[in-house]
């Protein structure tokens, strides 16, 4: 066990050196011994949270548990943040009462339910599309023909469009539940109606933010690739490049987080506008028009 503990400590030290200080450790077999060796991580300069499996579920169980924790955490965040975004969209005319923690406690349950409905449907659609894509690729490779190529292209188009639509539907469902207080199923139904009524605006929001995220990801990958090429097979240079790589990763994560909040803010504004909560801008007053004044002149006889 001492050798295993030393291995865990070495891995944790590498993570801290790379800039990762918030660490989740999934434990099952001999988990208490691992937790005793690493403790809370403070002596390594890290903060450790433990994900404990009552029964060993191996790697798949750890991934599933991590996904559940990430989903619950994101839903709790939006339970408090979405009402504030909606209030901001209304230009502070009707700010929700209370602060973030109070809003979170009021809307956590319905936000988690609505998120499970929206994102569950999106995940199910994605899995169906992936299965269909695997079958389509197999069919194209085994018996290539123009009809199969056309069908496969159509499948990809439907999959991409459907994922965009379901992403917008899930976000609108969360906004309806968190910011407007709708129960889970009611939030899903109203979000579906809103998506049908404002389909163009919802798709524009999705496409714009997906494009921005692709730009950020491409820039981060490009800079990281340049660093990797410059330090290839050079261990001292690889070590020196850890800090720049960590900085690039943190910067990209910060930008992605900002884009995510901005996207939800756009959907919150869309929902608030559909409810008539955002007053339209008053038309500008027309500029004064000078009147032509013609004075009558006396005519001398």
> 95-139 pLDDT, tens per residue?
555 567 777 788 888 888 898 998 899 989 999 988 988 888 888
Quick: pLDDT tens for 231-264. 777 777 777 777 888 888 889 989 998 999 899 9
Q: What is the pLDDT of residue 25?
A: 74
Q: For residues 167 and 101, give the distance between their C-alpha atoms in angstroms, rounded to a whole number.
A: 26
Q: Is 233 helix (H, G, I), strand (E, B) or coil?
A: coil
Residue 259 Cα distances to 69, 80, 92, 214, angstroms: 22, 17, 22, 11
Q: For residues 240 and 8, give the distance between their C-alpha atoms in angstroms, rounded to a whole number.
A: 23
Q: What is the pLDDT of residue 204?
A: 94
Going by DSSP bridges, is the β-strand pair 22-27/47-52 parallel, antiparallel, or unpaired?
Answer: parallel
Quick: pLDDT tens for 128-137. 988 988 888 8
Closest CA to 78 of 163, 179, 187: 179
Element (H, E) at 22: strand 22-27
Tell me the two tokens of residue 96. Answer: 């929700």
Closest CA to 139 of 126, 124, 149: 149
- Residue 82 · residue 264 · CB < 8 Å: yes
Q: What is the pLDDT of residue 1?
A: 47
Higher-confidence residue of 227 and 213: namely 213
Element (H, E) at 51: strand 47-52
Residue with token string 């990209």: 252
Q: Interior CA angle at 44 toward 43 and 50, to 5°?
A: 90
Listed by start position, the domains of the chain span 1-56, 57-274
Residue 95 Cα distances to 69, 186, 261, 282, angstroms: 30, 23, 18, 22
């Amino acid at each position: 066990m001492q050798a295993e503990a030393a291995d865990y400590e070495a891995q944790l030290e590498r993570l801290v050196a790379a800039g990762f200080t918030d660490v989740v450790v999934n434990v099952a077999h001999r988990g208490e011994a691992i937790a005793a060796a690493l403790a809370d991580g403070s002596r390594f300069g890290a903060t450790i949270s433990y994900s404990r499996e009552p029964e060993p579920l191996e790697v798949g169980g750890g991934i599933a548990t991590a996904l559940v924790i990430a989903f619950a955490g994101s839903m709790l965040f939006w339970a408090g943040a979405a009402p504030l975004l909606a209030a901001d969209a209304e230009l502070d005319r009707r700010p929700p009462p209370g602060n973030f923690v109070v809003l979170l406690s009021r809307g956590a349950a319905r936000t988690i339910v609505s998120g499970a409905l929206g994102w569950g449907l999106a995940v199910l659609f994605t899995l169906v599309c992936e299965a269909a894509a695997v079958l389509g690729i197999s069919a194209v490779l085994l018996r290539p023909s123009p009809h199969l190529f056309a069908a496969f292209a159509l499948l990809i188009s439907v999959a991409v469009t459907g994922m965009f639509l379901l992403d917008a539907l899930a976000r609108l469902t969360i906004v309806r539940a968190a910011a407007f207080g709708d129960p889970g199923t009611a939030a899903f139904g109203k979000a579906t109606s809103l998506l049908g009524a404002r389909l163009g605006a919802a798709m524009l929001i999705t496409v714009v933010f997906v494009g921005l995220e692709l730009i950020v990801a491409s820039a981060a990958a490009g800079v990281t690739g340049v660093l990797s090429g410059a330090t290839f097979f050079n261990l001292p240079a690889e070590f020196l490049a850890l800090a720049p790589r960590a900085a690039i990763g943190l910067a990209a994560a910060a930008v992605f987080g900002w884009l995510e909040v901005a996207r939800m803010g756009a959907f919150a504004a869309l929902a608030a506008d559909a409810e008539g909560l955002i007053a339209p801008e008053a038309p500008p007053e027309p500029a004064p028009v000078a009147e032509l004044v013609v004075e009558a002149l006396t005519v001398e006889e």
